[in-house]
Chain A
Amino acid sequence: MTDKLKNMYASIGLPRLIITCFFLIMLLMAPPLGLSITSLLGDSIRRWAMYGLLVLAMVPAVKCGIGLNFGISLGIVGGLFGATAVIELGITNPWLAMLAAMLIGLFVGSLLGIGYGLLLNKVKGSEMTVSTYVGFSVIAFMNMIWLTLPFKDGNLIWPIGQQGMRNTISLEGSFGLVLNNFLDFNIGDLHIPTGLILFFLLTCFAVFIFMKSKAGIAMSAAGANPTFSKASGINVDKMRVLGTAISTALAAVGIITYAQSYGFLQLYNAPLMMGFHSVAAVLIGGASLKDAKISHVIIGTFLFQGILTVALPVVNKILPEGNLSDVIRIIISNGIILYALSKTKGGSK
């Protein structure tokens, strides 16, 4: 019996245990403060599926050996470009618009990912540091691009000056909420965005299938043991580029899924920290620098987003003074990142 418990404990890992407990405590504190558990849970589920793809992008990156991909911002800007292009092109059918945005995002994301992978092959051993800065720089670079792109659609650009895109672009006339509203239903005031969840799980499944294919297995081997793979005739550098490109392309699709659920595109500095949030989520899920599984993504995203969604209203109630809650939000989210990074080992098996 104790052995069984010990095994369970080992497979869950201390960090996940603590965070799950924290999540549950926050949830239990909600009703006495006059908050509805079901609506909080509904929010958690929505944010789980909406962030999921961005976290899923970590799996191919870790598997191919470049470590945690802080540079998914590359894919994110690719996806954002796709979404803005679709609005500029005037595609109004929501499904068509989303599909077109994703295809453009995939294309741009893969291209950027290939270049990024080639760069990472040149800096073996310090990929994570380099990818962090690549992630930051591409956002800064795109800040200039967003201002200078020759897009003319009134929904995109500032109404005064007629030049440069807005910070926040509504997707109401485009593909906003199209996945969320597909086959959705309510249980009481618990809203289930069926389409969004299905899309997230389907993509997970696709990645899972890929990891079981010849190329996927070769890619994991190249990440796990480069010399071993070389001895079996695998081009390790090529596999790393492949993994990086897939990761970046997934991030592009991920940001479009995110934006349609949120209802807005956020340009400029908004995606700056998304890489960090994704990394933290997958680490909390039990991934390590060497191994990440789909299950880590699913569990980790739920815990990370769940805590953010539940803890904030709770803290808001306890500390209603002005902007203290925002300070708390930053402390909690960065605290989780720090904690996850320092506990990368627990529950990695």
Chain B
Amino acid sequence: MEIEYLLNMDNISKEYYGNRVLKNVSLQVKPGEIHALMGENGAGKSTLMNILFGMPVIHSTGGYEGVVKINGEKVLIDDPHKAMDYGIGMVHQEFMLIPGFTITENIKVGREICKPTLLSHIFGRDLEKLDIEQMRKDAKKALSNIGLDINEYVKVAGLPIGYMQFVEIAREIDKTGIKLLVFDEPTAVLTESEADRLLEIMKIISSKGIAIIFITHRLDEVMAAADSITILRDGEFVARKEIKDTSAMDIAQLMVGRKVEKLVDNEKMENIRNLRDDDLALTLRDFYVNMPGEMVKGINLDIRKGEIFGIGGLAGQGKIGIPNGIMGLYETEGTANAFGKDLELDKLGNALDNGIAFVSEDRRGVGLLLDETIEQNIVFSAMQAKDEFLINFAGLKLYDKKRAREHALKMIELLDIRCTGPSQTAGSLSGGNQQKVCLARALTLNPKILIVSEPTRGIDIGAKKLVLEYLVQLNRQEGLTIIVVSSELVELRSICDRIAIVSDGKLATILEPDAADVEFGLAMAGSKKDGDKND
């Protein structure tokens, strides 16, 4: 049994500064099989691959526990070069190609074939002549090996994205003795037909006896191409299955499934809300947002007045783009309508004027002025957008320190912001307290709709609970409409009335929080499933 596996990673654990990101994870890959590695964002896939490649980030933070075996032999890979020597290659998500070089040169870079010359006899290998003929032959062979019909002397610049990916693969194949290739979300940047092509190529490669680890979020692709699968969740090993013994439903369940702990006990809170389908707070029609990495490609949503509406989905699928588009931070198309009034999306600050406040997911980048005081951070938006906290002085609108201070103190008490006082700089606060400052700023605007993006990212469990509870309380007591955008399904399911899942920039489905795990899993993994679209 030991011999059967090409790669055997046994009981791998890894800690970053006391934070356990991998707990006894195992991964086995047979020669010549396509093995899928799945899990949500933060499940530990990248860390596992970094261990396999001996990346410096692993070894500079104390190494890992567990055993890695290749062909049944225990190995210690503490350097990427060693991984290469063992025949492990990687096809990167962002292409590592030199645009001005030809395909041949890109495939052979660093491993050029040379012929000795007169000068090289005297001055050493650096002055040998390139054997272009041989390099071309090799490149051609590698390209035809993956069934790619393209001239090897073409420059990489200007090739379609899909072809760049294939050139990368050809480069890995060309390395002698390659036994295992890792594909890190290779289809993320490809069009559908290119992705199909890639899956075919993966099959061709594996039929030549090279094993493949295929990291992806897309269930369809796994079902179509993989032979077996390992599923991780929260740094833990969930299951290893043969694809023929399982189904997309099973996998989705395994990926998402976890005990739904109620983070917030919202049953107890008094509920005076009256949610009606014809009383809408925010409607999006054919909404496109051009936010790099989070493209929204045509979404229709109806958010009822007074509800907590969740928007979930995996990273990079476009959920983050929605609030950023509404606030006018990125280019948009389509319409957004708040309380019956169309927003002028190209006019900066128009959403603020229409009573929409936003707590950004990028706390340190967009959410805060790190070098300014808590007080300044809290009152800033209200001051700029609504002319509050200002006194008139000889025609100049001056900062009203006294009222700002009073308000800041009130907010600090209300939200329990742990600080030395309102003059502490926001940058020196902990993540949870920074989030509360962001929240305080949004609330200072007295919004009618509050959009909170990733409300609990990077904050500890206690603060998490407090923030979520406060959101529910605002909703129940003040009737505030809240839109929560989050990658954490658990928190969405514990506070939201309805949850929209966004996949590939489009609305996959809208689910009730107590819908089955399978449905969430399928929707997030972009599995094509007809039926309940938003109506």
- Using known A-B contacts A214-B384, A233-B348, A234-B349, determine if residue A291 contacts B371 with beta carbons closer than 8 Å: yes
Is A221's beta carbon under 8 Å from chain B?
yes
Q: Is A232 touching B385 in the complex (CB atoms < 8 A)?
A: yes
Give, as a whole number of angstroms, the nearest-CB distance from B376 to chain A.
8
Q: How far is the CA of A213 from the CA of B350 in the complex (A)?
A: 22
Interface residues of B in 382-397 (CB under 8 A from A): 383-385, 387, 390, 393, 396-397
- Using known A-B contacts A213-B397, A231-B360, A232-B385, determine if residue A221 contacts B349 with beta carbons closer than 8 Å: no
Is A106's beta carbon under 8 Å from chain B?
no
Q: Mark B339-365, 1 if CB is under 8 A from A, else 0.
A: 000000000111011000010101001
Is B237's beta carbon under 8 Å from chain A?
no
- Look across to chain A and name the residue whose beta carbon is closest to the beta carbon of B370: A225
Give, as a whole number of angstroms, the nearest-CB distance from A218 to chain B.
6
Is B309's beta carbon under 8 Å from chain A?
no
Chain B contacts of A291 at CB under 8 A? Answer: 371
Interface residues of A in 310-348 (CB under 8 A from B): none
Q: Is A217 touching B371 in the complex (CB atoms < 8 A)?
A: no
Q: Is A213 touching B399 in the complex (CB atoms < 8 A)?
A: yes
Is B166's beta carbon under 8 Å from chain A?
no
Q: How far is the CA of A218 from the CA of B382 in the complex (A)?
A: 12
Chain A contacts of B381 at CB under 8 A? Answer: 231-233
- Residue from the set A214, A235, A291 with the largest chain B CB neighbour count within 10 Å: A214
Q: Given A214, A224, A234, which contacts B387 in the complex, CB threshold below 8 Å?
A: A214
Q: Mark A140-175, 1 if CB is under 8 A from B, else 0.
A: 000000000000000000000000000000000000
Q: How far is the CA of A55 from the CA of B350 in the complex (A)?
A: 38
Q: How far is the CA of A221 from the CA of B380 in the complex (A)?
A: 9
Chain A contacts of B362 at CB under 8 A? Answer: 227
- Using known A-B contacts A233-B348, A233-B349, A234-B348, determine if residue A218 contacts B384 with beta carbons closer than 8 Å: yes
Q: Is B399 touching A217 in the complex (CB atoms < 8 A)?
A: yes
Q: Given A213, A215, A230, which contacts B348 in the complex, CB threshold below 8 Å?
A: A230
Q: Is B371 touching A213 in the complex (CB atoms < 8 A)?
A: no
- Look across to chain A and name the residue whose beta carbon is closest to the beta carbon of B396: A213
Q: Given B350, B368, B384, B396, which contacts A210 in the complex, CB threshold below 8 Å?
A: B396
Q: Mark B312-348, 1 if CB is under 8 A from A, else 0.
A: 0000000000000001110000000000000000001
Q: How far is the CA of A214 from the CA of B393 in the complex (A)?
A: 11
- Using known A-B contacts A227-B329, A233-B384, determine if residue A213 contacts B398 with beta carbons closer than 8 Å: yes
What's the dominant secondary structure at chain A's contact region? helix
Q: How far is the CA of A21 from the CA of B272 in the complex (A)?
A: 71
Is A9's beta carbon under 8 Å from chain B?
no
Is B367's beta carbon under 8 Å from chain A?
yes
Q: Is B353 touching A221 in the complex (CB atoms < 8 A)?
A: no
Chain A contacts of B365 at CB under 8 A? Answer: 225, 227-228
What's the dominant secondary structure at chain B's contact region? mixed
- Using known A-B contacts A224-B372, A291-B371, determine if residue A232 contacts B384 with beta carbons closer than 8 Å: yes
Is A5's beta carbon under 8 Å from chain B?
no
- Using known A-B contacts A224-B372, A291-B371, determine if residue A233 contacts B353 with beta carbons closer than 8 Å: yes
Is A1's beta carbon under 8 Å from chain B?
no
Q: Is A232 touching B352 in the complex (CB atoms < 8 A)?
A: yes
Q: Given A214, A225, A228, A230, which contacts B397 in the complex, CB threshold below 8 Å?
A: A214
Q: Given B358, B372, B383, which contacts A231 in the complex, CB threshold below 8 Å?
A: B358
Q: Is B383 touching A233 in the complex (CB atoms < 8 A)?
A: no
Is A124's beta carbon under 8 Å from chain B?
no
Is B369's beta carbon under 8 Å from chain A?
yes
Q: How far is the CA of A232 from the CA of B328 in the complex (A)?
A: 10
Interface size class of A (residues with CB under 8 A): 20 to 34
Q: Is A232 touching B398 in the complex (CB atoms < 8 A)?
A: no
Q: Is A209 touching B398 in the complex (CB atoms < 8 A)?
A: yes
Chain A contacts of B360 at CB under 8 A? Answer: 231
Q: Is B348 touching A212 in the complex (CB atoms < 8 A)?
A: no
Q: How far is the CA of A311 from the CA of B136 in the complex (A)?
A: 69
Q: How far is the CA of A233 from the CA of B371 in the complex (A)?
A: 20
Interface residues of A in 194-224 (CB under 8 A from B): 209-210, 212-215, 217-218, 221, 224
Q: Is B396 touching A234 in the complex (CB atoms < 8 A)?
A: no
Q: Is A227 touching B366 in the complex (CB atoms < 8 A)?
A: yes
Give, as a whole number of angstroms, the nearest-CB distance from A57 to chain B.
20
Q: Is B380 touching A231 in the complex (CB atoms < 8 A)?
A: no
- Using known A-B contacts A209-B396, A227-B366, determine if residue A217 contacts B380 with beta carbons closer than 8 Å: yes
Chain B contacts of A221 at CB under 8 A? Answer: 369, 372, 380, 384
Give, as a whole number of angstroms, the nearest-CB distance from A158 to chain B.
46
Give, as a whole number of angstroms, the nearest-CB distance from B426 to chain A.
11
Give, as a whole number of angstroms, the nearest-CB distance from A230 to chain B.
6
Q: Is B399 touching A231 in the complex (CB atoms < 8 A)?
A: no
- Look across to chain A and name the residue whose beta carbon is closest to the beta carbon of B359: A231
Give, as a whole number of angstroms, the nearest-CB distance from A349 to chain B.
9
Give, as a whole number of angstroms, the nearest-CB distance from B7 to chain A.
43
Give, as a whole number of angstroms, the nearest-CB distance from B435 to chain A.
15
Q: Is A232 touching B349 in the complex (CB atoms < 8 A)?
A: yes
Chain B contacts of A230 at CB under 8 A? Answer: 328-329, 348
Q: How far is the CA of A214 from the CA of B397 in the complex (A)?
A: 6
Q: Is B329 touching A232 in the complex (CB atoms < 8 A)?
A: no
Q: How far is the CA of A68 from the CA of B9 in the complex (A)?
A: 55
Chain B contacts of A214 at CB under 8 A? Answer: 383-384, 387, 390, 397-399
Give, as a whole number of angstroms, the nearest-CB distance from A231 to chain B.
5
**Known contacts A228-B366, A231-B358; 20 further A-B pairs (Cβ under 8 A):** A209-B398, A210-B396, A214-B383, A214-B384, A214-B399, A217-B380, A224-B372, A225-B365, A225-B368, A225-B369, A228-B367, A230-B328, A230-B329, A231-B327, A232-B349, A232-B352, A233-B348, A233-B350, A233-B381, A291-B371
Residues of A within 8 A of B (CB): 209-210, 212-215, 217-218, 221, 224-225, 227-228, 230-235, 291
- 29 interchain pairs, CB-CB under 8 A: A209-B393, A209-B398, A210-B396, A213-B397, A213-B399, A214-B384, A214-B397, A217-B376, A217-B380, A217-B383, A221-B372, A224-B369, A224-B371, A225-B366, A225-B368, A227-B362, A227-B366, A228-B365, A228-B366, A228-B367, A228-B369, A230-B328, A230-B329, A231-B327, A231-B360, A233-B348, A233-B349, A233-B350, A233-B353
What 8 pairs between A and B have smallest CB-CB spacing?
A: A233-B349, A214-B397, A232-B381, A227-B366, A213-B396, A212-B399, A233-B352, A232-B384
